[in-house]
Amino acid sequence: MKHLPIVWSIAGSDSGGGAGIQADIKAIHGLGCHPCTAITAVTAQNTVGVQKVAALEPADVRAQLESLAADLPPAAIKIGMVPNRAIAEEIRNAIGEFDCPVVLDPVLVSSSGARLCEDPGGEPAWMLAPHADVVCPNLQEAQALLSREIRGSGAIEQAAHDLVERGCRAVIIKGGHGDGALCQDYLHDGSRGLWISNTRLDTRNTHGTGCTQSSALAAAMAQGIARLDDAAVVARMFVNAAIRESSNVGEGPGPVRASGWPEASADLPWVTETAAAANKRPVFPPPGYAPIGLYPCVETADWVARLAELGVTTIQLRNKSLEGDALRAQVKAAVETARRCNVRLFVNDYWKLAIEHGAYGVHLGQEDIGNADIERIAEAGLRLGVSTHCHAEVARAHALRPSYIACGPIWETKVKAMAFPPQGVESLALWRRTLAGYPLVAIGGIDAPRAYEVSRAGADGVALIRAITQADDYRAATRELVKQVERGRLDAG
């Protein structure tokens, strides 16, 4: 029997069903977790406004939290509306017993303008902030917490920095209340910042977006997504899908509609270091009309001719041992051989040499993106491939609009130490749906039978190293791999 991670929502009740614990329950359930609630306040509200707010007695909040703690310990906690300091004190005492992620959404004012916290400066939120792993205000809430106006991307970055300086471990300033063509969240984890952007959806049905996003963030963490940027991208995808699927209910802004695990390509955000970069995304040409197919990674130029004779049309030169003139000579020879043999040659990491010698493309790992001049690579007319291992890295690659995106490791690999566990074929199939607009390359622990599996799951390219270069008979191994990749492609339909 499947075990569902438990997520607590400590928040107010929305009688209209659009925000508060009602939104939290739908989001937590939608991401495969079991929601538990501790209600802090009851609101009389509908789609056009809030008519009454009634905070519960602190003892009643304490009773709910004690009941949950006795039987349903959390894998993550989301805190929303906290109407006063006394209730904040009860929450602070309760959550200290558990070693799990805590997401604080400092709900101070409703979307219709009604005050939901007795302290306009957000003192209850400040009491809880040091105990939360991440604090997620919208723009108006960030202004209230800092008692100043925040305008423009630079001011948002400074605000997040100041919130961290004042005791928050990490901050996500949500961009739903901003303006402009993009909806942009800014994440600051205490050491670095990044922007998570989607195209802003043209709808008035946005009731409950903040609650939905913060609950999705907590649920993603409860599901074991440890990296904050990774969980934030999942939450951003989830709320974007919920807005797309929103409904017209009542006379005012309707509620968003939370569904299952987000996988639509339309909801995938892109991650950039600056807000401006989100509007200046490059576009790389596709890898060619023919499928990428079997995609061997080789160390030396002589492998290019050997594999071309066996029908391989895409090869990556991946050499981690040479440098200087010796490396330059290998790149030059590999490019010349690839051109003569009509092979698409991608050079791993060494983008300057790839440009210098006219390679077909460049492949970059996540650690290399920041050191590469992406604009120069695009201007040179080269293709670009990018390695990814999680949602945050996929979103970072998406910002570059590369020629293909590689996902892995699909299985355990010993080529290098991996910070990520094997994803498996099911995750690859999910990436195929999410990355519908990109050629998808599978990598990590692939042999001939597995080459068939990933090809059948939708991989356009099958990257591997040892299965060919360390085979007893590389010719036979290559022919079998080419056969299995093609068979998988045909069986996939």
User: Cα 435 from chain centroid?
Assistant: 13
* Distance (Å, whole) CA 84 – CA 370: 45
Q: Count of CB atoms within 10 A of residue 433's CB?
A: 11
Look at the chain and count its residues. Answer: 493
Based on the residue annotation, tell me whether 203 is a catalytic residue of this protein.
no
* Distance (Å, whole) CA 371 – CA 349: 10
Instruction: Enter the tokens of residue 150.
Output: 């925040």
Q: Count of CB atoms within 10 A of residue 288's CB?
A: 15
Residue with tokens 């007893």: 472
> Any long-range contacts for 137-141 (C-beta under 8 Å, 24+ apart)?
137/105, 137/106, 137/163, 137/171, 137/173, 137/174, 138/173, 138/174, 138/176, 138/177, 138/210, 139/173, 139/174, 139/175, 139/177, 139/178, 140/108, 140/109, 140/177, 141/106, 141/107, 141/108, 141/109
Based on the residue annotation, tell me whether 416 is a catalytic residue of this protein.
no
Q: Determine the 3-state secondary structure of 271 from DSSP.
A: strand
Q: Annotated catalytic residue: which of 37, 43, 47, 206?
A: 206
Based on the residue annotation, tell me whether 288 is a catalytic residue of this protein.
no
Based on the residue annotation, tell me whether 211 is a catalytic residue of this protein.
yes
Instruction: Enter the tokens of residue 19.
Output: 């925000």
Q: Annotated catalytic residue: which of 30, 176, 208, 461?
A: 208
Based on the residue annotation, tell me whether 206 is a catalytic residue of this protein.
yes
Task: Please name every residue paired with 199 in a beta bridge, in sequence order, or none if there are none.
Answer: 182
**CA atoms lying within 13 Å on the CB side of residue 133:** 21
Helix intervals (H) in 277-350: 302-308, 324-341
Based on the residue annotation, tell me whether 208 is a catalytic residue of this protein.
yes
Q: Annotated catalytic residue: which of 12, 80, 175, 210?
A: 210
Q: Annotated catalytic residue: which of 78, 122, 174, 388?
A: 174
Q: Annotated catalytic residue: which of 37, 40, 43, 209?
A: 209
The answer to whether residues 185 and 157 touch, using CB atoms and an 8 Å cutoff, is no
Order the strands of the 6-14 sheet from edge to edge: 50-55, 34-45, 6-14, 76-79, 102-104, 134-135, 171-173, 182-188, 193-199, 270-272
**CA atoms lying within 13 Å on the CB side of residue 152:** 3
The answer to whether residues 11 and 24 touch, using CB atoms and an 8 Å cutoff, is yes
The answer to whether residues 372 and 347 touch, using CB atoms and an 8 Å cutoff, is no
DSSP label of 287: S
DSSP label of 193: E
Distances (CA, A) of 358 to 211, 328, 334, 347: 51, 12, 11, 10
Q: Which residues are catalytic?
A: 174, 206, 208-211
